[in-house]
Structure 1
Amino acid sequence: MKKTVILITIFLSIAMYGCTPSGGSEATGNSNGAENEKKNKPTLTLGVTPWTSTVPPTEIVKIVLKDMGYKVEDTEADLGVTMAGLSKGDVDIFMDYWDPQHKPYLDEFSDSIEVVSTSYDDAARGIAVPKYMEDVNDVGDLKGIEDTVNNEVLAISESDPTVKEIPKLIDIYNLDMEMINSSEAAMLSAAKSKIEKEEPVVLFGWRPHSMFNLLDIKLLTNKKAPEVLTPSSIHVLAHKELKENAPEAYEFLSNWSIPIDDIEDMIIKIDNGEDPEEIAQEWIDDNQDKIDEMKNSK
């Protein structure tokens, strides 16, 4: 009887030891390891500027980073505040840096901000008019008809570096026009009001944007001064410590790219009232192989 009791006690001790963390059950160890790894990953903050082009890539990256185990937040502000936040580490990632027009900001904070990758190239920008202005195809064609458009070029906020080249273009072509600044929404609303009545109007246009679909406009050529309002390339920026603090996120972002046509298609859907997160998830589902490659390129 004593031998039986002793044997039972031994067996129970072994079973209990195998269930404890120190006993190292493989399943428990793996589960705790994965949980600890997730807990050790930092919260990442993405900067969001009030531009339609910022939303699709930001939403995609938020979903992917969450799937990778990171907690993700975003903070909305204008470009200057976003860049300052990146320089201080208050913002970790910004998905919509435009070169060359935003370069002055990068030059100011180059010691603490890194260009991680290129999202897409050849984002055209310039002076735009409705397609029904058939005789106006180059900026020079506006000479002599400035009064038909109230001597105005409608543009976005004067604080945006990209519009600083518009007065240069006006001077180069000696046009009797001035730049009228407002928000992106106000500019598009004013242009739409004119276009609905098929009146002449001149505005600042750029890709990727839904304005070409919404307003049926065209960008004018710029034969006399091609060095002004050149196409942009769009990049991902990160605070300099992202590589050390979140190496997996950094690896993914360093391989990030997306076609400009895909960005524009998503912008149009979002402008039509579709949910940005659902649009982003749809793109991920359609491009999962590409996402996996960007995450595991080593």
Structure 2
Amino acid sequence: MKTINTLSRAVRYGSVLMIAGIGFAAGTVQAQDKGTVELAYVEWASEVASTNVVRAVLEQMGYEVDMSSLSAAAMWQAVAYGDADAMVAAWLPTTHENYYEQTKEQVVDLGANLEGTKLGLVVPAYTDITSIDQLDDKADAINGEIVGIDPGAGLMGLTEDVIEEYGLGDIQLQSGSGATMTAALQAAINNQEDIVVTGWTPHWMFARWDLKYLEDPKNVYGGAEEIHTIVRQGLKEDMPEVHALLDNFSWTPEQMGEVMLMNQEEGSDPYENAKQWVEENPDIVSEWMGK
């Protein structure tokens, strides 16, 4: 059962176009008297996977969970203002650097829940382009564009910096969403056409298609990043069991990839897939729960 969750102070987030949440599903928890945990996330395949997995575990522990889909800026603000209890979707130190700098005095960083991430420009493996500094000469082949994701994402800001640093005057960055980006990528691959998209690891598209990152000789995208868990101040005192779980939560890109691939099956439900993964990986979940 899905419900719409409106954050009490959403008016603060002028950039928010949609605030959607996934509410309590009957019959999925052992108890219902521990309160509600508010989780914020961005609509990236990786964060949909991780946030739903955390939700499924919290529900096993007896909590109700509301999930709110926000822009990256609003997600950080929600935790900083205490409208959300936590997020497991903070890409640091580069992608969300500005958001962290703006809110670091108001939030608590519990550290990395996933290591080994990467950001950059991605092309099909058959494309003869190998480096970002070749793109301006190949503008016609890629229709003069880089296909991006939601405009508020840190990855988009970095890609704007890439266009400036490499002098890609003939290239435009097209915003959209993660879904529109992968749809454009699939269409190009089906027709054996060249395309450049904003990409990141972990992402299910690398398991589905043969892709490669373009070299970034100026290192604008930086090195490998981590995905961190960020919680509101006071969560440890208010909900120590929840805080402990979030502090223990960590997994590998391969484990996350399993859930992301499940989510790409036609008609699949990310929440149901998360519950299935949790049920099939009791040893990992037990470690998160401190058992």
Under TM normalisation by the shorter chain, which class is it?
0.7 to 0.9
- Superposition deviation, residue 233 in structure 1: 0.8
Query: Which residue of the partner structure matches residue 6 of structure 2?
Result: none
- Superposition deviation, residue 247 in structure 1: 0.5
Query: Which residue of the partner structure matches residue 24 of structure 2?
Result: none
Residues 68-79 of structure 1: pairs in structure 2 closer than 5 A: 68-79=61-72
| Contact 2:130/2:215 (<8 A) preserved | yes
* 1:191 matched to 2:185: yes
* 1:168 matched to 2:161: yes
- Superposition deviation, residue 181 in structure 1: 1.7
* 1:131 matched to 2:156: no
Query: Which residue of the partner structure matches residue 177 of structure 1?
Result: 171
Candidates 252, 256, 280, aligned match of 2:274: 280
Question: Matches of 2:283 and 2:207 in 1, distance apart?
Answer: 30
Query: Which residue of the partner structure matches residue 248 of structure 1?
Result: 241
Question: Matches of 1:276 and 1:187 in 2, distance apart?
Answer: 19
* 1:107 matched to 2:96: no
Residues 30-109 of structure 1: pairs in structure 2 closer than 5 A: 39=33, 41-99=34-92, 100-109=94-103
Query: Which residue of the partner structure matches residue 250 of structure 2?
Result: 257
- Superposition deviation, residue 242 in structure 1: 0.8
Question: What letter matches 2:232 in structure 1?
Answer: H
SS of 1:182's partner is coil
SS of 2:100's partner is helix
Query: Which residue of the partner structure matches residue 150 of structure 2?
Result: 157
* 1:145 matched to 2:147: no
- Superposition deviation, residue 211 in structure 1: 2.0
RMSD: 2.2
**Would the alpha carbon gap of residues 78 and 128 (structure 1) be closer, same or farther in structure 2, given more than 3 Å must change?**
same
137-146 or 242-251: bigger deviation? 137-146
SS of 2:184's partner is helix
- Superposition deviation, residue 146 in structure 1: 2.1
Question: Matches of 2:244 and 2:134 in 1, distance apart?
Answer: 48
- Residue-by-residue CA offset, 1:140-163 (whole Å, 9 max, x unaligned): 343522221122111112221221
- TM-score using structure 2 length: 0.81
Question: Matches of 2:32 and 2:166 in 1, distance apart?
Answer: 58
Gaps of 5+ in 2: 1-29
Query: Which residue of the partner structure matches residue 30 of structure 1?
Result: none
Total equivalences in the alignment: 259
Question: Matches of 2:135 and 2:81 in 1, distance apart?
Answer: 45
* 1:206 matched to 2:203: no
151-160 or 165-174: bigger deviation? 165-174
Question: What letter matches 2:250 in structure 1?
Answer: S
Question: Matches of 1:68 and 1:123 in 2, distance apart?
Answer: 29
SS of 2:158's partner is helix
**Would the alpha carbon gap of residues 192 and 289 (structure 1) be closer, same or farther in structure 2, given more than 3 Å must change?**
closer
Query: Which residue of the partner structure matches residue 26 of structure 1?
Result: none
| Contact 1:117/1:256 (<8 A) preserved | no
Question: Matches of 1:165 and 1:272 in 2, distance apart?
Answer: 31
SS of 1:272's partner is coil
SS of 2:223's partner is coil
SS of 1:144's partner is helix
Which structure has the highest helix share of the two? 1
